[in-house]
Every structure is written in structure tokens, then in C-alpha cells.
Amino acid sequence: MVWQLDFWLLVILIVTAVIALSLKDLLAAVAALSAYSFFVALLFSQMGAIDVAFVEATLGAGISGVLFIVALFLTRRRSED
């Protein structure tokens, strides 16, 4: 439990979440969301929950990014709001 590591991981986590919400290019937003999932996984493993971190790294950063990109190919790439 190093509080500096916790603090900076949380700061990067919030920054990537705000980036993923504010981007207009949805492909870049998917990449930012994958980075968000990866930092959640790092935070979980730093807090000792290895099992949850494993699920987050495989599902959040792996599968859901691929599924979002496939869904983007079927719709438009730019967001209008």
C-alpha cells in the first residue's frame, strides 16, 4: 500500500475517463476506454484483488475494445453531440 502509487493511478484513471467522454472521434474514444480499463486493472491488482484485475484486463481492455470497434464499423465514426 504505497499511497503515491494509488494517488497517481487514480489521477490517470480520471483523466482517461474524461478524455474518453469528451472525444468526438469514437475510435479514439474506444482506445481511451481501453486505457481506462487497463488502469482500473492496475489499481485492482495494486489493492490485492488479483482475480478481479485479471477479469478487467481480459474483458475490459481486450474483448470489449474489439466489440466496440466492430460496432463502430457498422455505424458512423464521428459523434454528433
Q: Applying CB under 8 A, which residues contact another protein?
A: 50-51, 53-55, 58-59, 62-63, 66-67, 70-71, 73-74
**SS3 track for the chain:** CCHHHHHHHHHHHHHHHHHHHHCCEHHHHHHHHHHHHHHHHHHHHHCCCHHHHHHHHHHHHHHHHHHHHHHHHHCCCECCC
Name the residue nearer to another protein (CB basis): 4 or 74.
Answer: 74
CB-nearer residue toward another protein: 23 or 57: 57
Shortest Cβ distance from residue 43 to another protein (Å)? 16
